[in-house]
Amino acid sequence: MLNKLLKVSTYLLLSSVISACSSTGFGDMFSNYNQQMQSVKAAQKRGDFQQAISLVPLRSEGDGTYSLSLLEKGRLEYLASNWLLSQENFEVVYQQVREQEQAAKIQISRGVENVASVVSNDNAIRYDIPYYEQSMLNSYQALNYLNNNDLSGALVEIRRANLVQNKALKTNQQAIEESQQKMANKGLSQQNLDSRYPSQNNVIGNVKNGFQNAYTFYLSGVLYEAAGQSNDAYIDYKKALEIYPTNTVLQKDVWRLANQLGMNDDIQRFNKHFAGDITQPQPTITQASTTENSSAQIKPTDDTSLSSETSITTSGQLIIIVEQGIINSKQEVSFNLPLYINRDVRFYSVALPIYPDQLQRYPGLSLSYQGQQYHSEEIVRLQSLAAKQLQDQMPAIVTRQIVRLVAKEQIRQEMARKGGDIGNILANLYNIVSEKADTRSWSTLPDSIEILKLDLATGQHVLDLNVNGIKRTITVNINQDRQTLVTLTSIDKYTNYQSVNL
């Protein structure tokens, strides 16, 4: 009799496990993604990107985490300067996103996934790439094209990044309200959830939503200027400024193009809000020597008068994008929620994803040149966008969790009825082991991105940098009336840069 009960219980349990594993790996269901990525991120911090790539867990095309693994590899290949490989990975992901956006296909393909997640956890669901990750995908793809001297390809990608943000702006609020209502229909109010779910207010800060990214708009403006499309550049610089209104790099670019394009209404408005050093005419770059090296002088940012011995020279722009740190991975937090099941109020333990509620502080980039100091300014905090996006997703996550708890309770009762105490014990053990939060996210992204912009005389310049306490020297070439784009990566003690003349 005991053996019979054991066989029945084991059969019922295995049926549930097989269903849960149909669209995801066995390891994904019982171990958190952040744990799987720890060795990858450790190698990334050391600057050993090839090792990091080799440590990214292998996924098949049918795996629900396949697209996320390609994002991780694409980012790491980019850092390793393998731009073509990075480009290939990102293109596959982009095509998958396009396919998933077709509602009919999403509903059909998710039938098995939804059944699987009901008896296991959210790791059984295909990973949907959130909007902020989509815009970063296109931004990195644009940089891949630039590093392969393809400005037109880069412009296509940056337009895609902007479309992502525009689409999110139209649909985000309605999606949040609908998910909150569905959660309320399951018997849990937003207020009740907020009272038990740990706060992420410190990491979210003043971010209004989880998708508006000033960096992608700024990069778009830079590329439009490089292509001679000043009107388009002006529009995107203004969008970036709306998100980061105190960034003086953005203020200067908006003010410069507003005057260049004759935007008189904007000029009057900006004149009231910008500081005097932004709106006053900037001193002309001078050069005291005809050599191409460090004798060229940077344009002063104050009102220091120029020597009458200097002469006017041609100039270009140096733009430095500073990527700092690595974004935190999601963690798992467990707590009890009061839920109405079969007309009874019972407390159930739930496991939910969360980000640590603190932001790392970065000194940023300090650039020294000919006795003057220049400092980078933050333009996006991806960690804050990620936390806000998770906060907005939480009602939908909790609603799925409630459905899952009901289903698991029904399975437990069935196993207890057919398998007796053994079935009950096995079911409870399975429920405990399978209660795992979905901690998947693009974990190799930078934490923070800052920008610095200078006007330099044409020629070659040797610049002394101090980024987050690490000193190094870089050499850049400035062309007349053109932009030189430097992307600088700073991860722990690792620093490196790439330079492209636009």
Is pLDDT larger for residue 250 or for residue 399? 250
Mean pLDDT of 445-461: 94
Dist. CA 228–CA 230, nearest whole Å: 6
| C-alpha pair distances (Å), 72 with each of 49, 55, 91, 498 | 11, 11, 13, 20
Give 260's contacts (C-beta < 8 A, 6+ positions apart): 230
For residue 394, which of 212, 213, 199, 107 has the smallest C-alpha distance?
199
430: pLDDT strictly greater than 90? no
What pLDDT does residue 121 have?
Answer: 64
2: pLDDT strictly greater than 50? no
Number of residues in the chain: 502
311-312 vs 286-287, strand pairing mode: antiparallel
Residue 47 near residue 494 (C-beta atoms within 8 A)? yes
| Structure tokens belonging to residue 373 | 């100091």
Within 10 A of 165 (CB to CB), how many other CB atoms are there? 20
Dist. CA 341–CA 464, nearest whole Å: 65
- What distance lies between CA 150 and its chain's CA centroid? 24
Dist. CA 83–CA 74, nearest whole Å: 9
Q: What is the mean pLDDT of the chain?
A: 82
What pLDDT does residue 293 have?
Answer: 41
What pLDDT does residue 323 have?
Answer: 97
Output b/e per residue, 230-264; b: 16+ Cβ within 10 A. Answer: eebbbbbbbbbbebbeebbbbbbbbbebbeeeebe
Dist. CA 45–CA 52, nearest whole Å: 9
| C-alpha pair distances (Å), 438 with each of 28, 124, 147, 229, 465 | 9, 9, 35, 43, 40
What pLDDT does residue 193 have?
Answer: 83
Q: What is the tens place of the pLDDT at every residue in 252-301?
A: 999 999 999 999 999 999 988 888 888 776 554 444 333 344 433 444 33
Is pLDDT larger for residue 491 or for residue 288? 491
Q: How confident is the model at residue 103 (pLDDT cuts 50, 70, 90)?
A: very low
353: pLDDT strictly greater than 80? yes
Output b/e per residue, 181-208; b: 16+ Cβ within 10 A. Answer: ebbbebebebeebeeebeebeebbeebe
What spatial distance separates the first Cα and last Cα of the chain, rounded to whole Å?
A: 78
328: pLDDT strictly greater than 50? yes
Within 10 A of 226 (CB to CB), how many other CB atoms are there? 21
Name the one residue in this structure whose structure tokens are 């209104």: 245
| Structure tokens belonging to residue 423 | 């079935």
- Torsion region of 129: left, alpha or beta (phi above 0 gives left; psi -120 to 50 gives alpha): beta
Dist. CA 323–CA 346, nearest whole Å: 47
CA dihedral 20, 22, 23, 24 (to 10 degrees): 60
106: pLDDT strictly greater than 80? no
What pLDDT does residue 458 have?
Answer: 92
CA dihedral 436, 437, 443, 446 (to 10 degrees): -150
Q: What is the tens place of the pLDDT at every residue in 36-62?
A: 999 999 999 999 999 999 999 999 888
Dist. CA 427–CA 411, nearest whole Å: 7
484: pLDDT strictly greater than 60? yes
Listed range (87-101, 297-311, 443-457) with the worst mean pLDDT: 297-311
Listed range (15-19, 64-68, 95-99, 447-451) with the worst mean pLDDT: 15-19
- What residue type is 78 in one-letter code? Y
Give 190's contacts (C-beta < 8 A, 6+ positions apart): 180, 183, 184, 395
Mean pLDDT of 311-339: 87
What pLDDT does residue 370 have?
Answer: 81
Residue 138 near residue 164 (C-beta atoms within 8 A)? yes
Mean pLDDT of 211-219: 94
- What distance lies between CA 50 and its chain's CA centroid? 22
Mean pLDDT of 169-184: 83
